């Protein structure tokens, strides 16, 4: 799976909650779901499904850095 399978919104969300391990990152996103509005919850749920499909090795190779507002 490549970074291109994640939308910009999903990548930005993952960057906020990212830790050194996929499971911890998923737990942090899951823990924040009750505080999210419906649109953000949908993004988080989609990102979580995609993250869950990654191996730990794949997860560790992906930077998940937030997109700069000036990125085109």
pTM assigned to the model = 0.86
Q: pLDDT (tens digit, 0 to 9) for every residue of the chain, 72 residues total?
A: 455 589 999 999 999 999 999 999 999 999 999 999 999 999 999 999 999 999 999 999 998 988 875 555
Residues 10-15: contacts with CB within 8 Å, 24+ apart?
A: 10/43, 10/46, 10/47, 10/50, 11/64, 11/65, 11/66, 11/67, 12/66, 12/67, 13/40, 13/43, 13/44, 13/47, 14/47, 14/51, 14/64, 15/64, 15/65, 15/66
């Amino acid at each position: 799976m490549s970074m291109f399978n994640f939308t910009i919104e999903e990548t930005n969300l993952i960057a906020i909650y990212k830790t050194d391990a996929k499971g911890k990152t998923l737990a942090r996103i899951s823990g924040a779901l009750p505080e999210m509005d419906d649109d953000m919850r949908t993004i988080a749920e989609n990102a979580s499904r995609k993250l869950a499909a990654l191996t730990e090795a794949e997860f560790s190779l992906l930077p998940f850095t937030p997109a700069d507002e000036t990125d085109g």
